[in-house]
C-alpha cells in the first residue's frame, strides 16, 4: 500500500554515500525532507559538515567521514549506524570518482585501481554489510548510482565506464539474490549532470557528450534525487533489478 503521509520515509534510516555534494547531497536532503533519519558518508570532512548543516534541523542527520574504498572503514560506518539506529532501511551508493579523458594506453595502474575501488568495490562492501541488516529487519531498498557511461561506453573513459557497468551488473545480481527477502535493488544511470565531476572533463569532451543528449542540456542533481526516492519508495514495490536511464533521452537500453 502506498503511504498517504506526505513524509513518505518518516522514521526510516537512510545511508547516502558521497553525500557531501552533488547528487548525494541532493538525495540526502530529499530523504530528510521526507522524514528520514539520514546518514551521509563522505571522505571530505569540511563539505560533509556543510551538507549536514543544510539538512532539515528537525530531523536526525548524521555525518560520518570515511573512505568508502576501504573495507574496514565501510564496515565501521555500518556498525555505527546499526549501533545507533538498530536498522537500515535504504542504502544509496552514490560515491564516485572520475579522472577525465584518458585513452586506455595512458591509464596507469593507480588510476585504474582507484576508480574501481571507489566506484565499484565500495558498492560491494556496503551491500555485503547492509544486506544482512535488511534481512534481519525484514525489508530494505538499495539504489546504486551508476552512469549512462556504463551502458553506452564513452571512449577515453575506460576505468569510469567499466566501474559503472560493473555496478549495473552487481545490482542485477543482488536483486535476484534478495528478491524473496523483501529487499529491492535498482540502479540509475544519469548522463551529464551538473556536479563537480563535470570539472574532470575537458571542454571538448563535455561538448561531445552534450551532443549525445537529445534534450540538449545537462541534468540536475535534484532530478536524479527524485528518481532515487521513487525507486526506494512504496510507489515502486514491484520494481527490482532494473537500471533506469535519466539522461535526457540518451541511451540505447
Give the catalytic positions in this structure.
Answer: 160
Neighbours of 55 (CB within 10 A): 20
8-20 as b/e: b if 16+ CB within 10 A: bbeebbbbbbbbb
Spatial separation of the C-alpha atoms in residues 38 and 44, rounded to whole Å: 17
Residue 120 CB contacts under 8 Å (≥ 6 apart), including other chains: 163, 166, 167, 170
**Are residues 170 and 123 in contact, defined by beta-carbon separation less than 8 angstroms?**
yes
Spatial separation of the C-alpha atoms in residues 139 and 179, rounded to whole Å: 10
| Residue 187, helix vs strand vs coil | strand
Spatial separation of the C-alpha atoms in residues 40 and 4, rounded to whole Å: 27
Please state the length of the chain: 253
**Are residues 172 and 241 in contact, defined by beta-carbon separation less than 8 angstroms?**
yes
Amino acid at each position: 500500500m502506498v503511504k498517504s503521509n506526505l513524509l513518505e520515509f518518516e522514521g526510516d534510516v537512510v545511508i547516502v554515500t558521497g553525500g557531501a555534494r552533488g547528487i548525494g547531497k541532493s538525495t540526502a536532503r530529499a530523504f530528510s525532507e521526507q522524514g528520514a533519519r539520514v546518514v551521509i558518508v563522505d571522505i571530505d570532512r569540511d563539505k560533509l559538515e556543510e551538507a549536514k548543516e543544510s539538512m532539515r534541523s528537525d530531523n536526525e542527520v548524521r555525518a560520518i567521514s570515511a573512505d568508502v574504498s576501504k573495507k574496514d572503514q565501510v564496515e565501521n560506518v555500518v556498525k555505527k549506524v546499526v549501533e545507533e539506529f538498530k536498522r537500515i532501511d535504504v542504502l544509496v551508493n552514490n560515491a564516485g570518482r572520475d579522472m577525465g579523458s584518458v585513452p586506455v594506453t595512458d591509464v596507469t595502474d593507480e588510476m585504474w585501481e582507484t576508480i574501481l575501488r571507489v566506484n565499484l568495490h565500495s558498492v560491494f562492501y556496503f551491500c555485503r554489510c547492509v544486506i544482512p541488516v535488511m534481512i534481519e529487519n525484514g525489508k530494505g531498498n538499495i539504489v546504486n548510482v551508476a552512469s549512462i557511461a556504463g551502458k553506452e561506453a564513452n571512449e577515453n573513459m575506460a576505468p569510469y565506464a567499466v566501474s559503472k557497468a560493473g555496478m549495473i551488473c552487481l545490482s542485477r545480481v543482488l536483486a535476484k539474490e534478495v528478491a524473496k527477502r523483501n529487499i529491492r535493488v535498482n540502479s540509475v544511470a544519469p548522463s551529464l549532470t551538473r556536479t563537480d565531476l563535470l570539472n574532470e572533463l575537458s571542454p571538448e569532451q563535455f561538448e561531445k557528450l552534450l551532443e549525445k543528449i537529445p534534450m540538449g542540456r545537462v541534468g540536475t542533481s535534484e532530478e536524479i534525487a527524485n528518481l532515487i526516492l521513487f525507486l526506494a519508495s512504496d510507489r515502486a514495490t514491484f520494481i527490482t533489478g532494473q537500471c533506469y536511464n535519466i539522461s535526457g533521452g540518451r541511451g540505447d537500453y
